[in-house]
Amino acid sequence: MATYTFTCEQDHDPIQMIVDADSDETAMTMMIKKEREHLLAQHTDMAALDDTHIEEMIRNGWQKTGTQPQPM
């Protein structure tokens, strides 16, 4: 399990979106959902972005911490 963090600070105080997931793919799915909600609330001019653009934005700024080995 790892913790993934993405911080948005465009035109407002920094807001962190945090998810815990077992894989990068799962984390990205969860993070896209959080980012889409954030865009709808804070950045209505960007709310129409498709998931590919949102994923690119997240990948350019997210951090992964706390990776732990999986039990065998």
CA 21 to chain centre: 12
Map residue 23 onto helix, strand or coil: coil
What is the predicted pLDDT for the residue at 70? Answer: 53
Query: 30: part of which helix (H) or strand (E)?
Result: helix 24-42
How large is the average pLDDT for residues 47-70? 89
Each residue's pLDDT tens digit, 24-44: 999 999 999 999 999 999 999
Compute the distance between CA of residue 39 and CA of residue 36 in angstroms, rounded to an integer: 5
